Structure formats: C-alpha cells, structure tokens
Amino acid sequence: MVEKKVTVGSTDGERTVANIVQLASKYKSSIRLVKNDMSANAKSIMGVMSIGVYEGESFSIVAEGEDEDMAANAFYEHLK
C-alpha cells in the first residue's frame, strides 16, 4: 500500500472529476481518495463527486496493488 498526501491545485469542476476517474481507470490497483473522515473509490465518478475535489483542499491518495507506486505518483502529479 502506498499513501501520498497532496493539496489540490487548480481544478476545472466536473472536468476534474472526469479526469480523475479516467486516470484511475488506467491502473489495476485500487485507488482511494481520503479527505477527513471520507473515502472515495477514484474509479467511481459518483464516489469522487461525493467527496468533492476543490482547489486548496488536502487529500491522501491511497493505492494498493501491483502498480500502486505508479498510480500514487500519477495522482499526486495530477492533483497538485
């Protein structure tokens, strides 16, 4: 399991959510976004929408699986 903390940079509303889901779908690993006491499957558009991804907020990216390092690093770069 790999966990990285990131503060979200610039977002583009709904397009950001769609981009997150598309990025997550490229990896075999399970990828979760964790904010406060909430957690969302990054491969689920409804999950990502329910947690909310807004500029300036901090998240943990938790990836687990065979390509977890690549997935966590890609998400970190995408969200920062």
Domains of the chain, start order? 2-79 (3.30.1340.10)
What pTM did the predictor assign?
Answer: 0.88
Confidence bin at 9 (pLDDT 50/70/90): confident
Residue 57 token pair = 């907020």
Query: DSSP secondary-structure letter at 48?
Result: H
pLDDT reported for residue 55: 86
Rounded Cα distance, 2 and 69, in Å: 6
Size (the chain), residues: 80
Mean pLDDT of the region 24-53: 94
